[in-house]
């Protein structure tokens, strides 16, 4: 079950905003191949437990008043549960995903088919990218990760499609192979005047760290222990932030800033290298 972590009194007022997201039940979740350091095919996984944990996350979003859409899982695509990788959507334009590894490549067309059937303007990608796993909309700027999965030329494609500034950030730790495992967006409203983030410094190159420090001087710096349970792989509505329940110090930091951290246990899905944000693709009309 989800746990709302206790919060001390705070003078900071945070305002939640309704979010619209896409999720995929992990009916076929297992770890049958290894494409990141978290995955160990020789170790057993429990699909029924993964489903129960995912259902807790799903119910948490419903309880928060989110509009939650579902895409049907496809047998043989165990990582399809990580919906964030399925694309990137702003202003009703859906930039599709083109996955690095052959095991996940069929997910790209499956998600683009869903986008089309639900009225989004789909742009078929010309370059390798893994969707919102490596693209984060922070205010009016798109932070774009590279280093392990998403190619840098996709960042140029992204800028052309959306007409927004795209800031490239290089990831250097293979355990944090997507940007959304190393950065948490705390203030998700587009156009937010002073959006803030939390991040793990050791996940980035020195040049990218310099960019983060300059752009986000008040960012929360998360410790290695909380990052190692994918605590940064979280989802915020501007006040409530759903995080890994084991990321306790991150929860403390959020409470001190006036946010309401809500802990959920996705330990089974962590065996595939994903957490809260990985299971959550934002749909921005």
As annotated, the active-site residues are: 178, 278
Within-domain flag for 215: yes
pLDDT at 218: 95
pLDDT at 9: 41
Domain carrying residue 36: 16-282
CATH of the domain at 114: 3.75.10.10
Prediction pTM value: 0.94
Question: Could you tell me if 157 and 127 are in contact, meaning their C-beta atoms sit under 8 angstroms apart?
Answer: yes
Within-domain flag for 198: yes
Question: Could you tell me if 190 and 139 are in contact, meaning their C-beta atoms sit under 8 angstroms apart?
Answer: yes
> CA-to-CA distance for 165 and 159, rounded, in angstroms?
6
Within-domain flag for 6: no
pLDDT at 2: 56
pLDDT at 219: 97
Q: How many CA atoms lie within 13 A of 171 on its CB side?
A: 26
Within-domain flag for 8: no
The ranges of the chain with pLDDT < 50 are 5-10
Within-domain flag for 45: yes
Within-domain flag for 221: yes
Within-domain flag for 276: yes
Task: Look at the chain and report how many structural domains it folds into.
Answer: 1
Within-domain flag for 11: no
Cα separations (Å) of 267 from 65, 157, 254? Answer: 24, 35, 21
> CA-to-CA distance for 112 and 155, rounded, in angstroms?
19
């Amino acid at each position: 079950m989800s746990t709302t972590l206790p919060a001390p009194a705070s003078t900071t007022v945070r305002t939640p905003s309704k979010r619209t997201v896409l999720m995929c039940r992990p009916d076929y979740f297992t770890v049958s191949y290894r494409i990141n350091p978290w995955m160990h095919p020789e170790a057993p996984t429990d699909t029924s437990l993964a489903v129960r944990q995912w259902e807790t996350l799903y119910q948490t979003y419903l309880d928060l008043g989110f509009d939650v859409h579902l895409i049907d899982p496809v047998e043989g695509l165990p990582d399809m549960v990580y919906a964030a990788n399925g694309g990137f959507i702003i202003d009703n334009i859906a930039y599709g995903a083109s996955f690095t590894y052959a095991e996940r490549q069929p997910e790209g067309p499956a998600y683009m088919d869903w986008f089309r059937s639900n009225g989004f303007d789909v742009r078929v990608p010309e370059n390798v990218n893994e969707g919102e796993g490596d693209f984060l909309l922070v205010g009016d700027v798109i932070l774009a990760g590279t280093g392990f999965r998403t190619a840098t030329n996709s960042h140029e494609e992204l800028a052309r499609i959306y007409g927004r500034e795209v800031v490239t950030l290089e990831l250097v730790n293979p355990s944090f192979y997507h940007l959304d495992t190393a950065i948490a967006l705390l203030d998700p409203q587009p156009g937010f005047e002073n959006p803030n983030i939390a991040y793990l410094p050791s996940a980035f190159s020195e040049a990218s760290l310099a960019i983060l420090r300059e752009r986000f001087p008040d960012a929360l710096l998360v410790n290695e222990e909380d990052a190692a349970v994918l605590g940064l792989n979280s989802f915020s509505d501007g006040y409530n932030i759903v995080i890994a329940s084991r990321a306790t110090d991150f929860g403390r930091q959020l409470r001190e800033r006036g946010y309401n951290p809500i802990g959920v246990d996705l330990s089974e899905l962590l065996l595939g290298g994903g957490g809260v944000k990985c299971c959550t693709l934002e749909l921005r009309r």
